[in-house]
Amino acid sequence: MPLKRNETKRAPVPREEPALPAITNGDDGFGEMSAASYEMPRMKMLQAVSPEVQQRVHPDAKAGVFWHAALNESLGESVKVVVVRQTPYWGLLEPGQGKLLARADLRGNWLDGADNQTFRVEIGRKPVDWHTRSNLNESGLGVLGTSGGYWAAATPSFDVVLWLEGEDYNMPVMMTFKKTSARPLRELFTILDMRKNSGVPRHAQSFNMKSRLIQGKEAAYYVPTFENAGIIRDEKHVKDLQALARQLAGAQIRVVGDEAEGGEGSAGPRGPQNYADDTRSY
């Protein structure tokens, strides 16, 4: 049964020490986990090829909307957010689908047991079976695309914890930015850094994230855009968001709502992911 907006499984508004989504106890099919293990809902930006759109799971599941995968409902084409944490990594994507097959940290170390595996990837617009070897650099997947016009099979990606601002959705969500959506996100990080240098804490900066239609050579697709939504004047709320970011440092996060892959924001592989390495706290 899909989660409803008023169910207790939804992350509450943080207090002095922000309460996170449900702590898992190791009996959920993912094996033993540390005490600092959490569940967090997935948010996606749906595309025309997203399973939710193709399968018509809901009348509001349309290309261009932000989709709360755990609640299985649309958040509309614009959401107000605060960036809590971001984790950059190399993402190995499935050809044509955008599904994340494997990931490596910025040092090229494969994560989640992806070393010495064989995946079908896309190189030069052609699907190829490729062995990951012991690390990204040894596999060669991280250097493709530097010359000859080839598309890199492994691309820079980001897992970002966003805090949804508003009465209906006042909670943290996880969203994955990859390929075309990574560029506007990097531009957002530049703005965050510039304003911090001017004395505005990163967690006090809110943005309206909107979907924008891009007409590509082969098909149209949506990318996120970020517009300034003002500075958060509630000091307690800012401190709560900072405390939430600290709580997530090094935590294992099981993302809820990855059952249907596809669309910007979707992810994989399944299971809890550790955010101790290369995680940037704002």
Q: Which residue has the higher pLDDT, 126 or 204?
A: 204
Taking the CA of residue 53 as centre, how many other CA atoms within 13 Å lie in the half-sphere pointing to its CB? 16
Per-residue pLDDT tens digits for 56-82: 889 999 999 999 998 889 999 999 999
Element of type H or E holding 85: strand 78-93
Which residues, including other chains, have CB under 8 Å from residue 134's CB and lie 6 or more apart? 110, 115, 116
Q: Please name every residue paired with 4 in a beta bridge, in sequence order, or none if there are none.
A: none
Nearest to 71 by CA among 82, 56, 58, 84: 58
Does residue 263 surpass a pLDDT of 50? no
280-281 vs 126-131, strand pairing mode? unpaired
The 3-state DSSP class for residue 169 equals: coil
Average pLDDT score over residue span 144-172: 73
Q: What mean pLDDT do residues 82-100 have?
A: 81
Give me the sheet containing 66-68, strands edge to edge: 43-45, 66-68, 73-76
3-state secondary structure of 245: helix
φ, ψ of residue 49 to 5 degrees: the values are -95, 0
Q: Which residue has the higher pLDDT, 128 or 48?
A: 48
The structure tokens listed for 6 are: 């008023």
Residue 192, classed as helix, strand or coil, is helix
Q: What is the DSSP letter of 150?
A: P
pLDDT of res. 92: 83
Mean pLDDT, the chain, integer: 76
Task: Give pTM, 2 decimals.
Answer: 0.76
Bridge-based pairing of strands 37-41 and 252-256 is: parallel
218 vs 162: CA distance, rounded Å: 31
Residue with tokens 């967690």: 203
DSSP 238: H
pLDDT band at 270 (very low <50, low <70, confident <90, very high): very low
Backbone angles phi and psi of 194, in degrees to 5: -65, -45
- Residue 141 pLDDT class (50, 70, 90 cuts): confident
Nearest Cα to Cα of residue 202 among 162, 247, 238:
238
Question: What pLDDT sits at residue 230?
Answer: 94
Nearest Cα to 214, choosing from 173, 188, 183, 186? 183
Residue-wise pLDDT tens digits, 2-54: 444 444 344 433 333 333 333 333 332 222 333 456 788 999 999 998 889 99
Least confident of 19-23, 145-149, 218-222: 19-23
Q: Assess contact for 43 and 256: CB atoms under 8 A.
A: no
- Interatomic CA distance for residues 156 and 46, integer angstroms: 20
Peptide bond into 12 cis (omega under 30): no
Q: Which of 14-28, 95-109, 229-243, 268-282 has the lowest mean pLDDT?
A: 14-28
